[in-house]
Amino acid sequence: MTPLQENIQLASSNISTYLAQHKTASSWQLKVMFRLSSSVLYLALGALYQEGKISLEADGINYNVTWGKKPENAVPTAPAALKEQM
């Protein structure tokens, strides 16, 4: 396993543990709390999202990260900046 893969796996584990206890956080909070580079943060969030462990909702330049997956019939919302442009 490469060092990058190890960093992503460790970040995924730390994020999972935190969200299992606190249920929600912003991507910025997770980045600062675990001292992650943007690349590792978003690769870890992508892996957790793909596994169905988290849901993501855009909020400006950040994401609201929630433990657990939203129901399948939930309609995703556009970021506030895009809503204003429409």
- Give me the tens of pLDDT residue by residue for the chain, a chain 86 residues long: 899 999 999 999 999 999 999 999 999 999 999 999 999 999 999 999 999 999 999 999 999 999 987 655 555 566 665 556 65
Instruction: CATH number of the domain at 54, please.
Output: 1.10.10.10
Q: What range defines the domain where residue 26 resides?
A: 3-85
Whether residue 58 contacts residue 79, with contact meaning beta carbons closer than 8 Å, is answered with yes
Report how many domains make up the chain.
Answer: 1
Q: What's the pTM value of the predicted model, to 2 decimals?
A: 0.78
- Give me the torsion for CA of 18, 19, 22, 25, rounded to 10°: 100
Buried-state track 3-40, b at ≥16 Cβ within 10 A, e below 16: eeeebbeebbeebbebbeeeeebebeebbeeeebeeeb
